[in-house]
Amino acid sequence: MSIKIIGVDADDTLWHNEPVFRLTHKKFNDLLGEFADEDALERRLADIERANIKTYGYGAKGFTLSMLQTAMEISDGNVSTKVLREILDAGREMMVHPMEPLPGVEEALKDLKDRGSLILITKGDLFHQESKLAASGLGSYFSGVEIVSEKTPEIYTKAFARHGGSAETSLMTGNSVKSDILPMLAAGGYAALIPYPLVWEMERADKPDGHPRYREVETLGLLPKWLDEIS
């Protein structure tokens, strides 16, 4: 068996993302400290964000709208325009945050692209994800980009078929067990987890340890070793 297509996640796999969100959470909590403590703010924001994902999808823009809604609700409408403005600015800051590939990622992609077609598969906002890929300078390593609303077995099946392959002869790699690993295994493909120290609450799931088509690797640079084993 040889792997024809390698799907690669973007956020927290190619570049840092979750730390940017954590920093914005901190700013948000500081700005609204007079209305509620940090735990209450975090709980309310998480509830609003979860409900809003169905409408706004994933990404920084939807998150900004959720922060604004939380601010208005938790303050019973007493939040100042100045604070709302600062939340808006914090959201905008996330959109233009400098993009830098994680250490070793570029070398790893150089190596991997000779072993199969590389497809970037990421959830989120089309405009922002494309801007991040352009800013990272990694775009030329990929023969395709799939920006999807959700990572499900059906979406993986269709994405790999669109690029002339099938899930069974493809491998997906990323930092989220819930999005990059479990649905890819369910689609019949191979999946490699590259853990990232911070995991977004909504991406938590148990690792499928012992699954024959699953492996945890420390860095993207160690993926070729597993590809050799598969073939």
The mark string for 139-178 relative to Mg ion (x by CB under 5 A, - otherwise) is: ------------------------------------x---
Residue closer to Mg ion by CB (options 35, 58) is: 58
CB of 12 to Mg ion, least distance (A): 4
Q: Rounded to an integer, what distance in angstroms lies between the CA atom of residue 30 and that of residue 50?
A: 22
Residue 129 binds to Mg ion (criterion: CB under 5 A): no
Number of residues in contact with Mg ion under rule CB under 5 A? 4
CB of 175 to Mg ion, least distance (A): 5
**Which one of 7-15, 29-37, 145-153, 218-226 is the stretch in contact with Mg ion (CB under 5 A)?**
7-15
CB of 17 to Mg ion, least distance (A): 7
Query: Do 149 and 57 contact (CB within 8 A), yes or no?
Result: yes
Residue closer to Mg ion by CB (options 87, 99) is: 99
Q: Which amino acid, 222?
A: L
Residue closer to Mg ion by CB (options 9, 49) is: 9
CB of 124 to Mg ion, least distance (A): 10
The footprint of Mg ion on residues 10-69 (CB under 5 A) is 11-12
CB of 178 to Mg ion, least distance (A): 10
Q: With the C-alpha atoms ordered 13, 17, 22, 25, is the resulting torsion angle positive or negative?
A: negative
Beta strand 190-193 pairing with 214-216: parallel
Residue closer to Mg ion by CB (options 28, 58) is: 58
Residue closer to Mg ion by CB (options 12, 49) is: 12
Q: Which of 6, 7, 8, 9 binds Mg ion (CB under 5 A)?
A: 9
Residue closer to Mg ion by CB (options 41, 203) is: 203
| Contact set with Mg ion (CB under 5 A) | 9, 11-12, 175
